[in-house]
Every structure is written in structure tokens, then in C-alpha cells.
Structure 1
Amino acid sequence: MVALAIGLSLAGSPVVAQQSVSTNTAQPQSIAFNIPAQNLNSAILSFANKAGIQVFYDVSRVEGLRSTAVRGTYSPEQALAQLLSGTGVSYRFSGNSVSLTRPEAADASSIGADGSTVLETIRVQGQEENAWGPVDGLVAHRSATGTKTDAPLIEVPQSISVVSSEEIKQRGAESVKDAVKYSAGVGVGGSSSSIRSFDNIEARGFAPTPLYLDGTYLPYTGDAGGSPQIDPYLLERVEVLKGPSSVLYGQNYPGGIVNMVSKRPTETPLREVVVGTGSYGRAYTAFDFSGPIADSDQFFYRLTGVATRTGTNIDYTNEKRFMIAPSFTWKPQEGTELSIITHFQRDEGRPDYRPLPYEGTVISSPIGKIDRDFFSGELDYNRYERTQSVVGYDFKHEFDETFSIHHNAKYIYVDDSYKTFFSNGYVTKNGVTDYTRLNRNAYDYASKNSVFATDTNIQAKFQTGEIEHNAIAGIDYKWFKNDYSGYYGWGNTSISITDPQYGTYNRPTLGARWDNRISQLGVYAQDQIKWDNWILTLGGRYDIAWQDDYDILTSTEAEKTNREFTYRAGLTYLFDNGIAPYASYATSFMPYAGFDGNQNPFKPTTGQQYEVGVKYQPPGYDALFTLSAYDLKQQNVPSWDQFGVAYQTGEVHVQGIEFEAKATFFDSLDVIAAASYTDSVYSKAEDGTQGNKVRFMPPVSSSLWVKYNIQDGPLDGLGIGAGVRYSGSGYGNDANTFKYPAYTVFDAALSYDFGKKNRDLEGLVLNVTATNLFDKTYVSGCSYLNACFYGQARTVAANLSFKF
């Protein structure tokens, strides 16, 4: 028998657990609990940490049981009684400890002289889920992305999608955009799916969605490259905060942000190695080692690495990656922690961007459709190389039960180059179109991007009467440098799509060279105010953003300074049955480079969003459901009239409804469901598009993923998963003159845990995934008439992992 003791130091003697229920005569101080329904063992850990008491129990006797959610202010005994409700587990308080028992036939060797059950005592540092750590399974309950504090997701008055490392593994996602494609309100189709080297993600109708690593902005300049790509094996979770986020992060597009949370050193030993294979010659290996250094209780390390190479369904293309990520944590005392987090990555390969004509992809040309595997570039020209480095630290210190400080800083450097050809419609001579040949343009850029960012905030948890406050006040600074050289070869040699011959092309010439710098200083404050079941979230921020654009070719320089105040207000009500309706209003701003028709520098674009919704955590289940509706606008959008004169009078108006559900039932059935309706319109424009739908944005999308893990019988250890993704038809240009069609594709997964049948193989797991299982040929989106993009062909990957 094994028992668990959590909380304070133990005397080290065996514990005799009595099978009776007693009532504590003393009335302990009431504590605010927020423990979601989950497996009982995890719930007990959360209870013990929050109540600060010892809990003794036999782990085997609570296995497979589920807790009841505990939310509200209770004495420890009241909270424990509610948590154990319906489990058949009884409790007995004794001073500052409690023993749990569950009636069960006892082993003779464990019977004491007095007839009680003697349990071996082990001390464990129990930890509930925290916003910067791993998720236990599929369903996250906490996040820091929406508040910069460790907050329950149900209390954040905006929609947030959290993809855990378990979900990433389960679905076989090999990029961040693969990880989020089952999330509501998120788009990764069209050119986003074609450019595999970047994580181009759309959120609520806006692109690109800014990417963050541990709350730090990652450099990205759109098609000009210079963006790091974070390998999902490096991450504990990926979080999509939908809607304006400037109140916490400064300048951003209004659709939302994607924040990736790195793996951190662990206090308990962790060792994993992975090897894999798959379609198109895929070869994959990864490792993850973590734990204390030399059995220390203060110093901890983690070393994570990935090496992979693969082809794609496009002829002659390939990708290679090597990544190593060492990190280190020092915990000199309780409540104080310093982590140094780094990673270094090298990517290279032969890509093919490959936009293709509408006629020949969506519909047939006179000679049929273009082969999905067709390579439109040059074998000795197309090339992608990237070197990226991240070095940073994260410091946390709790002064007392009220005040704490959180400070972090990161330096990120990316050096990449991209050479490719992209087609520009069929060759036409004397009014006659040759549907066998494509025009091509050559593209060659080199970009060096650097970001230094630091953020410091003070957090205060206190009460004023019956009102609880969780307040933060902080200051952050960001400096971004983009050094870019672009070589362009418009009207290069054409290529045959029926019998391509490679080797004849013209080298492009220098067309752009700039050195741009953006810096931002922001001061922000936020308070999460709780009274009874109400939660009011108020936040405000003032930013100063400096922009210096230097065109090296023309020796011209433009400088401007923008000042902006942004804010958010949200109200949530927590019903005792797990339902939490909310309403919020949030604003954003984003500096915009360039000048209008009067040579005035463009003002920042601004955004505002109204959002109402309801979140639901059903008691007794590990699940979270979110239903939201929003009205989102972006102003000061530049548009150009028929004479090419720029005006900053444009506006984009997006209205939508989103539903997302993640749940694990009976510890064996995982379900992910999402559905979105997005109505995105050019509500104001000078170029004749006013009233038109925004191109490249399918209004309807939905997805469903289900996986069942067999837990007994001859197939114990086998997991079977299946997914379906639907994307509706959308307009392929701003003029709304043509559409690309809807599509539906299926995914699948199989896993097998060898340790379920053979203890000698414990920790050995096989995971096989298939994307586009039935190998459907489809167009995932169009951005103009000669730029339609095929979706991903069937791709199978098999990974064998071993934890020891």
C-alpha cells in the first residue's frame, strides 16, 4: 500500500488511517477555493496546497475517481466535503492534517494490531496546474495570457483557446499553426498553409496574428520574413487570446495574439526520447531531460532537442531542422525563482511558395487541373535558411502573502534568407492564352531581425471588506530592429506545367534595402475584483511607440512617435453550477508605416471589440465549454482611390460567433469541438470595395476531434482517434468577383501504450497520425485570381516515445 502526504513536513512515522468520518470542533479560517472538477488525486493535491495542510491517503484507492468542483469561500473541512462528494471517500481531521479512506478489502500484511489499515507514508510536493506550466491532459483550467496573472480561464472575460502539449502529441502537430487548427475563430488555410516555414495564423478575420513566446513578442514582418518558428516539442501549451490585447501587450492587431509557453525545468526527474518516421522520407528524433542537479533541492535543469528532416508532397521540396534548448532554474527559497531559458535553432530546405491560377485549381482549365505535386521553382535556386536564438530569464519573488514581483527579459535574433519563384498566371501572347505555361517572378530576400523585450510588474492580492483584489501594475519595454534586403525578378522565365524543364532563369536584382526600428514603452495596471460570485476586470495602459524607417536605397528616413491609451473592462458571474456568463470591451492600436496622399505619416490603426459569452465547467467533469459573440472594428485602415492616392479612412468590421469545447470523459474519451461564423466586411473604403466581404476569410468553419483510449480487456493501452475539419466557401479577391469552394478533410490517430500489458515496457508509447486521411485534393483558399493554394496532401507520421 502507498499513501500520500501533502503539505507540511512529516514526522516520518507510519500513519494509521481510520475509516470513519469526524467533525473538526475548531472553526478554521475560511479560504477562497477554485478547484475545477478533475481526477480525484489531482484535486486532492490542489486542496492540500490551497489549505496548507497535510493529507494522508492510499493512492490506489482513489484511482479512477473524479472530484466535484469547489468554488467559493469555505473552511477546509467544508471544501473537502464538497470535493469528495459522491466518491465514497471519507475523511478524518486531526490537528493540521487529514486522513482519507475508502472502504476496500485490505491486504493482510497491511492490517495493524488494532485492526486499522496501516499505510506507508511518503511526502510529495503536490502542485496544481499553473498558468506557466503543463496541462494535465487535454483541458486547461488556468492561463496567464489574458491577465498576466495565474488566473482561472473561466474568470477571464475574453475567449481563450489553450492547446496543451498532450493535444499537440495526440494530433501529431508539427508546427504551431498545425496545433491551433482545431481552435475556434482561427484560420491557417490558403497561403498560410502553403508557407510551411512561418506560422501565419489568422484570428477573427485579421492577419498576421502576432506571436509571443512566454509573453515576449516574436519578430515578424509578413512576407518579408525574419520570423522565428518555435518547434511545438519545445512547448507546454499554445494559447490564442482572441480580440484586442493592447492593454497588456501594447501595439497589436485587433484579432488577437498567439502566446506559446516554453517547457521549464521540473523538480522531479523527467526523461524522454522520441524517434519517428513517416511520409516523404520523414526522419525525426527528439529528447527531453529534466530534474534536479546532483539531487539538489534548489537547482534544476532541462535540456530539450529536436532533429528532423522530411520532404513534402510537392516535388523536389524538403525541410531540415536542428534545435537545442537548455534551461536552468534556481529556487533559493519558497516563493523565489529564477529561470534562464534559451534555445538555438537551425532550419534549411528547398521550399516552393506556389500560388496557382484559379482556372486550373478551383476549376479546370482547357487542359484540366494543375498537378498538386507540381514544383514551380528551380532546383538550384529555391532555398530557405534560418538561424534563430532566444536567450532570456524569468524572475519571480513573493514578498509575503500580499505582494509579489515578476520580472523577465529576452533577446531574440533571427537571420534568414528565402529564395523562390512564384507564378503569376498563364502565358498570354497576342491575346492567346497558353494553358500549359505559367509566368514566374523571382523572389530573394535576406532579413535579420532582433528583439529585446523586458517586462516588470508588481502583483498585490488583498481584501477590502468582502471584496477581493488581484491587482498588477507594471512597465514594459520592447525594441525591434529589421534589416532587410530584397531582390526581385518580375517577369522571369516561364515554366511548363505539363513537362517542366528546370535550369533556365534570370537572377533577380536588388529592389529594396531598409533598416527599420520600432520601440515601445508601456505602463499598465489591472485589477481583478471579486465580490461574492461577481468578478470585475479593469485594465488600462499608456504606450509611447517610436518608429524609425530608413530606406537605404533612396537614403530617405522617416521618424514618428505615437502615443496611445488602451483599456479593457470585463464582468463575469460565477454560478455554483459551473456556468459563467461574461461581457467585455477592449481596445487596441497598431502603428502603420507609410504616408497618405498629403505626405502625412499614417496614424496607428485602432481597434475596439464588444464581446459577450458564457463559459461552462460542469461539476464532476474535466471539461470547458466556451460560447462567445463579438463585434470588432478596426479604423484608420489605409485604402487607395482610383488615382492611387492613399487615404486613411478605411474600416474593417467583423462580427462573429464562436463555440469551442474540450472535455475528457471517464478518463478515456477526449473530445475537441469548434465552430465559427465570421462576417468580415470592408465597412469603409476609398477603392470601391466598401460593403464587400474581406477576401481570404471563409465565413463558416467547424471541426471535431474524438479519441478513445481503451483501458481494460485485451486491447488495453490502445487509443483510436479521428477528426474532421470543415471550411466554408469564401471570396478570393477584394472585388468579390469569385469564390473558392468549401472543403472537408479527415484526420486520424492511433496510439498504443506498451506498458499497459507489460510492466517491463512501461513508458513506451507509439503514436501514429494521419492528416487528410483520404488524400483529398482541395484548394484551401485564394488571395487573388492567380493565387490559389492547394491544401496539404495526406501525411502520415509515426513516433515512438520512451519515458524512463
Structure 2
Amino acid sequence: MTNWAFTRFRLCTMLFSVFFLCFSLAAFSQSGKLKIKVKSQEGPLPGASVVINNGDKNGITDHDGEFEWKNVTPGEYEVKISMLGYISQTKTLTIQNEEKTHLNFTLEKQYVDLQTVEITGRKETGYKNTNSFTATKTETPIREIPQSISYVTKELINDQMAFKMMDVLKNISGVSQNSYTNNKYVLRGFESESKQTLINGLKTFTGERSADILPYVERVEVIKGPASALFANTSPGGTVNIVTKKPLAESRKAINFATGSYGTIRITSDFTGAMNQSQTLLYRLNLAYQNAGSFRELQNKQSFVIAPSVSFLPTDRTRINFDLVFINDNGRNDRGQPSYSPVNGVRDLYATPTSLSLSRVNDYVKAQKIFSTLSLQHNFSNHIAFNASYLKGVYHEDLREHRTANKNAVDEDGNDIPDLMEMRYNYRITDNITDNLTSYFSFRFNTGGLEHRLLTGYDFIQSSDGFGNTTAEALGYLSADGKSALKKYDPAKKEKYMIVDGRPVTNVPSVDLRNPDYTISDPAKYISTAEQDKLGKYYTQGVYIQDQLSWKQFKALLSLRQEFYTDIAGYGTPATTHVNQKALLPRFGLVYTPLKEISLYGTYVYGFQPQEAGYIGDPAKYGGPFDPLESNMIEFGVKSGWLNDRLSATLAVYKIEQNNVLQTANDLGNPDLLRQIGQVRGKGIELDVYGRILYNLSITANLAFNNTEITKSEDKDEIGKQAANAPKSQGGFWAKYDVTRGAVKGLGIALGANFQSKRESGAYDITLPEYTVANAALYYRIDKIQLSATFNNLFNKTYWLGADSFTRLFPGTPRNFLVGVGYTF
């Protein structure tokens, strides 16, 4: 054999040997399978983190709480299961050749208090929410809280294709809208204030003319009644809390597009998931843009929101979260629909079209809001935890608007001209900065048969207006020479005014309600006066202690807060005065659970709203001095869960008293003069229902009967008056049915309605009629794509949400629709 032949023979032999060896290994290799199942006492746990051999293999459990690993090399493995809110578990096992090994985990809840700002996303899907953090500053089942807590979840927000706060509050009992102004709501008959809105349980100023936008919102909660024991100065009717979406460990991505009536164009997106394999760094990003017109003339608006959120979990005991929300609004300020002055003593709501506004095309309101929150939770053990959260809120507004002077124009004899509205023009710059720090320790321990969840902490809240806050205002009537303006017209001194065609000439042209002028105005022709706005700054500090006790079928909540409130009179001027007010704020409640499905509760809470320092510090202008607003509430109710806890219901009966209420004195010589009318009392009953009747039939329903009236006043004619914009009865429902089998599988149908009884305007000069509005929606899901269509005010009902006076009516939207397409991946 030649050398070349021998070489080829040896090479072939080597290649054959390698091939045979590979074939043998493939044919006789050993492997196994590992199936992991994770659950809690309530059932399977989807989204639990699975880490094998410190990261050699990672994953998360599916919707059934399961994770499977195929083709596993036989050997010994360490498996760690973890999930936020649960105690981690680690097990070691040996996987044998060609065997399927099953490994089961049952995680126990980590009984420490999650922080006030929820650091992880809500994993429930549907209209029902089980727990609340805000109402007690601990993770507490709503069934165990001795106070009514109402809410709207993101699932309902999505199903109704809602974009602004005012679009969803109709789903909450006892809450009504009294204007288009942001956060001007009536809760149990009492008005709310924009400086009392909460973001993740932290107070901030969200603006009065820039709507709260919902695409970054996990849910909206309303804590019914005074919440001063938790959040210092609050409205006696209730407190609105916005809970933002938080990062999830499992990867979810969604993009939605919608269009519809009034030229609406909307796009939203929601992305969340883990940023590393160990799932210690999570993210969420919500983006949204909307350009929408309105049935109201010139009331189109552009809005966009950017809301990133990051959670860092370096250990099972330490959790850090950062949230940022940036909202930009660009539109016009809608002061409502003006109506004619009364003819023969009768006001006709229908005399002017609901589309009528008083804006001009070059009016605008531009607003930017930034809310940033940094939160920390550290568990020293399963019994002791520390929580700290800090929120920085920044609000900026640039406003130019034509608005009514809240009265009709007059002729030279001072008589009202019914179809002419006297106007004024405002150019305003507004800035506000809010700081809110909350920190507390929580302890879990037993004394004999009593279980305790004890909190003790400190809060600091500060809110200040910008020194540059200024309003340039033009109003009143021109002087005879046209070089100045007088605020009021006095027919006894006609010679002081410019009179043309039998009418004094207004500084800002009056609006003819029969033929309004929406064209470009020239504010340079107005005689304007620029003044620094009445600036405000306050800070308040509170120390508190709270104990949640459990004994057999009883749970009690005992809370006491000492509040130190400081308002700065004359803020922005060289002469400032610190006005100090303080209050001791108790809160007591008891829950009794005779059956698993039913909890009975009763509660007493005390509320506190300091009067503004400007009112207290300037008695010559405003009257006074005035005592702080004080309120108290007694509430009893029943909370229940039905159909294996798929459906929950809360029935509440309450009485609220508020003392030392300020109202205008109606003094023509001093329009700023105020007086304390004495007492306002609200009594009512409410019902809220949430959840699923069937696994594919979801429902939310609410009903409220309320009587809030003046019960003490120096003016005897005021006693017995119903609170402004507070209906005595209201309610609604929304039900969605999903077809899960058959030829139309994936189809969803929803129906809903809302009603309110008649209400009085803020000036008690007009009565708004009762109304019922019907709504509907259709959905169709094909794999990862969902088509949606909502139809609001199906029967094109003309109605009004609320009114300040006959010059400012706030009509509801006529029949309208939205259609959308969404893709999840």
C-alpha cells in the first residue's frame, strides 16, 4: 500500500470513529424533565420567578402557575422560587435518567406591610380589586377596612375606552362632576379640591384646568369620608387617589389605536417586564397621545403623557421604586355654556345650544405636570419593616381666555340685556411646587390572642405657588374718554362712561348669545391691569400611630394623628406671617366577620381643613377671623364576597357633619367678604358592586342616596338648602359579557347606564333636570388583536353635569363613539 493510500485509509478510519462516537452519544445520551408547580393558599401563582442553580436556568410560571424544563442532564439541582409579597422557597432535588420529576411549591404570604406607594403591579385582572394600600398604609384586604373604599380598575377604564378622570368617576357611588374643571368633584355632597388629590397615596397639586389622564393609571380609588387621620387636610366627602401602573416581572406589551367622534385620534402603549435574568430590575413604560375635539365650540385639546417606572429588588428584603409621570395639555379652558337671564322669572336651559362657548380662537391653556416618586421598603425581618416615599410635583400653566363676568351686559339705565353676556379677559401664568415625604415603621406581633399590625410614622407636606404667578385682567366698562376702565357700571353717573347706541361700552366686547363671535380677538386693544396673584404656601407635619388588631372574628383599627399646619400669610411679599393651626385627628373602626362571606363594620373619623392664611390674615378684606373647618363622620356598613369571592359588594350608611364652612357674604360693597355659615350635614346610603357573576360576565354597579344640606346658619333662609351640584340620588352600572365558545368566540358585548336626580347650581339660581344616559360597547378578539367600539349616550340625551350659575352650565356630551384596535405581544 502506498503512503498516500495508507494515509487515506487512516483518515477515513478516524472520521468513521468520530462519527460512530457522536452517533453513540446521541443514541445513548441520558436526559430528564422537570415540571414545577407553584401555588399559594388562594390558588396557582402565575408570574413567579424560577431560578435553577443560581441562574443556569431561569423562567417564570405560566397562567397555571407551572414551569417546565425539558432535556435536563441528570444530576442534582437547586431550585429557588420567589415572588413579590411571598416568602421565597428553595429546594434541592436529583433528576434521574429519562424521568419526569415533579416539584411543588406552596408559597406563604410575606406578612409585612408593603409600602404606601405600591411597588409592584396589581396582578388581578377584572373589575374587582381585593386589596388597598392607601386606606391604612398597609396591604389590607378591602373587606377588613372599616370604611367604604370605592374604585375603578384599569380593566374597566380600558373597556370603556376612557381617557380622562371625569370619564370614569360615574362608576363610583356618591361621586358627581360639577364642572369641566379638573378635580372639581362633589363627593357625598361636599366639594373636593385640586390640592387634595393623591398620587399613590401622596398629596400633590394636579391643576384645575388640566385634566388627569388615565393611560398610566392602574386604578382610581375614592376613600369615602374625611381621611385627615391619614393625609392631614382633606375634604369631608372623600379623597381621590390615583394609583399608577407598576412594573411586572412577566413580559407584557400592548399598543392601542382609537379614533371616533369630534376628530378624536388616540394612541397608547404599555410595556413592562424584567430588565435582567434574575428579575431584580423591572420596568414599565406607558406612552399616550390624544388629539380630540368636542361638541363644545373651540374646545379641542392635544394631550400626551410619558410615564416610566423602574423597580429594583436587590434582595428579598429591600425594594426600591422610581416613578415619573409627565403630562402635557394644550387646549382651551372651557368655562361652560351661558344661558339667557330669566324671562318673566323663568330660566330656559334649552334656549342656547349646548355647543355654545365663550372662547375665542386665539385663547389657549397650556399646562405641564411632572410627578416623580422615589420609594424604599426594607424588611428587617418578617415582623418589622421600614417604608419611606418622597413625591415631587411640579405644575406649570399658561392661560389666555375670554370668560364671562358672570352677568349680563346692561343698557344705559342699568337694565340687563338678556341675550348679551358681559365678558372679561384673563392672561395668567401659574406655577406650583409640591413636596411630600412619608416615612413609617410597621411591626407585626402578638399579645396573647391579639394580632397587631402597628404603624408609627411621620409625614411632611409642602405646597407653594410660584413668585411669578400673575394675572393680567381686562374687565368692566370704558370711561368716557376711552383711556381707562371702570369695574362696574353705575347708571346714576352716566357721564363717567362711554355710551354708544344707548349702551355703555364694555372693555372686553360683550358676546351676543344668538350670534357669538369665535374669530381672533385683539387683546392689545383691551385696557388690562396686571397683578400678582394671591400666592400661597403651606407646610404641614404629622406624627401618628395606628394599630390594626385581630382577634378571632373581630378586627379593629385604632389611629391617632397629631397635625401641625403652618400657612404663610402674605407669601410673596416682604411682610409675611406664619399662621399656625393644629389638630388631634382620631380614627376608630371595628369589623366583625360572622361568616366567611360577610363582614360588618362601623367607623368614626375626624376631619380637619385649615382656613387659608390669606382669609385669616386679612379680616378687613375677607372678614373673620375664621375657625378651621372641622368635620366628623359615623359610618356603618356591610362588605361581602360571593360566588367564590368573584363578586364583592359594599353597602354603607353614613352621617357627615362639617362645621365653620365659609361662603360669600354677597356684600355688593365688598365682593370678597366671606362668612362662616355654621354647619353642613350629609346623610346617605351607598351600594357598590364589583366582579364577575359568571366567569365570562363582568359587572360594576353603584347606587347612592344622599341628602347634604345646611343645618346651621345665621341666615335662616339658608337652613335646609341642599348642597350645590349634589344630587339626592344617582347610580349606574356596566356589564360585559364575553363569548368563549362557538362560531363567535372572542366576541364581547357591554351595556351600561348612569342617572342623576335634579341638582341646584352653585349660585342656587338654576335647577338642573334629572337625566339617564345609556352606553354600550362591542369587542372582538382574534388571537393577540382586539377590535373595540364604544357608544356613549345612545339616545342622544341632552343633560347637564353641573353648573356654577346660569352663566356657566356644563352640559354632557351628545351621542358619540370611539373605535379602536389593540395588539398585545
TM-score normalised per structure 2: 0.78
**Counterpart of 1:181 in 2: which secondary structure?**
helix
Q: Does residue 1:345 correspond to 2:327, yes or no?
A: yes
Distance 2:299 2:666 in 1: 41
The correspondence for 1:402, drawn from 383, 388, 392, is: 383
The correspondence for 2:463, drawn from 450, 469, 480, is: 480
**Counterpart of 2:157 in 1: which secondary structure?**
helix
Q: Does residue 1:312 correspond to 2:297, yes or no?
A: no
Q: Does residue 1:793 correspond to 2:817, yes or no?
A: no
Matched letter for residue 761 of structure 2? G
CA contact (8 A) 1:418 1:444 kept: yes
The correspondence for 1:470, drawn from 453, 473, 486, is: 453
Find the counterpart in structure 2 of residue 30 from structure 1.
none
1:449–1:617 CA distance, 2 compared to 1 (3 A): same
Q: Does residue 1:741 correspond to 2:776, yes or no?
A: no
Find the counterpart in structure 1 of residue 136 from structure 2.
147
**Counterpart of 1:169 in 2: which secondary structure?**
helix
**Counterpart of 1:783 in 2: which secondary structure?**
strand
Distance 1:226 1:795 in 2: 26
The correspondence for 2:730, drawn from 682, 701, 713, is: 701
CA contact (8 A) 1:219 1:228 kept: no
Distance 1:367 1:449 in 2: 37
1:227 shift after superposition: 6.9
Matched letter for residue 214 of structure 1? N
Q: Does residue 1:461 correspond to 2:444, yes or no?
A: yes
CA contact (8 A) 1:318 1:351 kept: no
Find the counterpart in structure 1 of residue 262 from structure 2.
280
1:309 shift after superposition: 0.9
Q: Does residue 1:753 correspond to 2:776, yes or no?
A: no
Matched letter for residue 438 of structure 1? M
**Counterpart of 2:627 in 1: which secondary structure?**
coil
Distance 2:814 2:303 in 1: 21
Distance 1:123 1:412 in 2: 43
Distance 1:136 1:548 in 2: 46
**Counterpart of 1:792 in 2: which secondary structure?**
coil
1:729 shift after superposition: 0.6
1:513 shift after superposition: 2.2
1:385 shift after superposition: 0.3
Matched letter for residue 451 of structure 1? T
1:201 shift after superposition: 2.2
**Counterpart of 1:354 in 2: which secondary structure?**
coil
1:366 shift after superposition: 8.7
Question: Which consecutive unaligned segments of at least 5 residues does structure 2 have?
Answer: 1-30, 50-59, 67-89, 477-507
The correspondence for 1:668, drawn from 678, 696, 700, is: 696
| Correspondence list, 1:347-746, <5 A | 347-357=329-339, 369-380=351-362, 382-423=363-404, 424-429=406-411, 430=413, 434-483=417-466, 484-491=469-476, 492-501=508-517, 502-504=519-521, 506=523, 507=526, 508-550=528-570, 557-593=576-612, 594-595=615-616, 601-639=625-663, 646-648=674-676, 650-687=678-715, 688-733=717-762, 738-746=766-774
Distance 1:254 1:366 in 2: 34
Distance 2:395 2:272 in 1: 27
Matched letter for residue 358 of structure 2? S
Matched letter for residue 364 of structure 2? R
Deviates further, 306-315 or 429-438: 429-438
CA contact (8 A) 2:165 2:212 kept: yes
Distance 1:185 1:490 in 2: 38
**Counterpart of 2:312 in 1: which secondary structure?**
strand
1:514 shift after superposition: 3.2
**Counterpart of 1:712 in 2: which secondary structure?**
coil
Matched letter for residue 608 of structure 1? N
Find the counterpart in structure 2 of residue 78 from structure 1.
none
Distance 1:616 1:648 in 2: 41
1:322 shift after superposition: 2.1
1:639 shift after superposition: 4.1
1:602 shift after superposition: 2.8
Matched letter for residue 485 of structure 1? T
CA contact (8 A) 1:307 1:321 kept: yes
**Counterpart of 2:698 in 1: which secondary structure?**
strand
1:337–1:43 CA distance, 2 compared to 1 (3 A): closer
CA contact (8 A) 1:45 1:127 kept: no
CA contact (8 A) 2:226 2:607 kept: yes
1:677–1:694 CA distance, 2 compared to 1 (3 A): same
Matched letter for residue 132 of structure 2? S
Find the counterpart in structure 2 of residue 157 from structure 1.
146
Find the counterpart in structure 1 of residue 501 from structure 2.
none
1:627–1:365 CA distance, 2 compared to 1 (3 A): closer
Deviates further, 273-282 or 289-298: 289-298
Distance 1:719 1:802 in 2: 16
1:772 shift after superposition: 1.6
Distance 1:626 1:358 in 2: 43
Deviations 1:152-191 (A, max 9, x none): 0011111001211101101121112222211101111x32
**Counterpart of 2:432 in 1: which secondary structure?**
strand
1:227–1:340 CA distance, 2 compared to 1 (3 A): farther
Find the counterpart in structure 1 of residue 191 from structure 2.
207
Matched letter for residue 250 of structure 2? T
1:369–1:227 CA distance, 2 compared to 1 (3 A): closer
Deviations 1:589-641 (A, max 9, x none): 01112038586543321110000111111252411111111110111212465
1:751 shift after superposition: 1.2
1:427 shift after superposition: 3.8
1:711 shift after superposition: 0.8
1:235–1:504 CA distance, 2 compared to 1 (3 A): closer
Matched letter for residue 731 of structure 1? E
Find the counterpart in structure 2 of residue 246 from structure 1.
228
Deviations 1:243-291 (A, max 9, x none): 0101111111211111111111221112111222111111111222221
**Counterpart of 2:570 in 1: which secondary structure?**
strand
**Counterpart of 2:125 in 1: which secondary structure?**
coil
Deviations 1:488-534 (A, max 9, x none): 33343112233323345654432442332110111011111010010
**Counterpart of 2:509 in 1: which secondary structure?**
strand
**Counterpart of 2:695 in 1: which secondary structure?**
coil
Distance 1:372 1:665 in 2: 39
Question: Percent identity at matched positions?
Answer: 24
1:462–1:686 CA distance, 2 compared to 1 (3 A): same
Find the counterpart in structure 2 of residue 772 from structure 1.
793
**Counterpart of 2:475 in 1: which secondary structure?**
strand
CA contact (8 A) 1:360 1:370 kept: no
Deviations 1:113-157 (A, max 9, x none): 99xxx6877989999998933232111111012101000001111
Distance 2:91 2:143 in 1: 31
CA contact (8 A) 2:152 2:220 kept: yes
**Counterpart of 1:617 in 2: which secondary structure?**
strand
Find the counterpart in structure 2 of residue 136 from structure 1.
125
**Counterpart of 2:690 in 1: which secondary structure?**
strand
Find the counterpart in structure 1 of residue 74 from structure 2.
none
1:659–1:716 CA distance, 2 compared to 1 (3 A): same
1:352 shift after superposition: 2.8
Distance 1:181 1:113 in 2: 59
Matched letter for residue 203 of structure 2? Y
1:669 shift after superposition: 0.7
